[in-house]
Structure formats: structure tokens, C-alpha cells
Amino acid sequence: MTKGTSPIMAQMEKIYRHTRANSFGTRARYESSCRNFVGFLDEKFKMKNLRNLQDKHVVAYIQQRQAEGVAPKTLKNDLGAIRYMHDMIPNVKHELSDNKGLK
């Protein structure tokens, strides 16, 4: 195991360290969902920068979570958290589609 966190995980932690929107519970829930998502991105896609996030990454994550048997409501919550994090990223290269566009 490598020492410290990956660059993409550090970017996610910085976003949540500086956000003040929503309640404490919502922020904790969103951070937990994004931590799982960013771990997936690091493991599967070897991403180094959150600015490069695209629809294909989100679709792959949703497909994996569906294969694990995660409830649809949980997936919608995860998508909300991912979109919130994406909105907080400065200078993104790609916009994420809505739920219908991801299918």
C-alpha cells in the first residue's frame, strides 16, 4: 500500500474541507458517497485529476454498484453527491449529464 492518500482523494478531501453548503448530516453523507466513488476512480481508471470526470466514469460506477445489489434510492443519493462534488470543482473539462442522459 502506498503511503498517504492518492492525488484524486486529496482533491476530494479539499473540496469537502472548504464547503459550507447543506447541513452537517448531508455533507457527511455526500463525502462518504464521494469517497467511495473517488476510490473507484482511482482503482479502476487511475485518474489523477477530478477535473477530467466524464459521464463514462459515472456510468461505470453505477453499473458496478448495481452489480453489488445496491438499492436504486442509494444510487440516486450517490449521484446527487457526485454532482454536488462536480459543481464544486473549478474549471471542469466536461459537464455531467442528468440521470436520463447517463443511461
pLDDT digits (tens, 9 = 90+) for 29-67: 999 999 999 999 999 999 999 999 999 999 999 999 999
Indicate the pTM of the whole model: 0.87
Q: What is the pLDDT of residues 8-27, one digit of tens each?
A: 999 998 888 888 888 888 88
Classify the C-alpha dihedral 86-87-91-93 as positive or negative: positive
Q: How confident is the model at residue 3 (pLDDT cuts 50, 70, 90)?
A: low
pLDDT reading at 2 higher than 70? no
CATH homologous superfamily of 7-102: Tyrosine recombinase, N-terminal domain (1.10.150.130)
Please state, in angstroms and rounded to a whole number, the distance separating the CA atoms of residues 5 and 30: 19
Q: Which of 40, 54, 33, 55 is nearest to 8 (CA)?
A: 40
Residue tagged 445489489 (cell numbers): 69
Classify the C-alpha dihedral 46-52-57-58 as positive or negative: positive
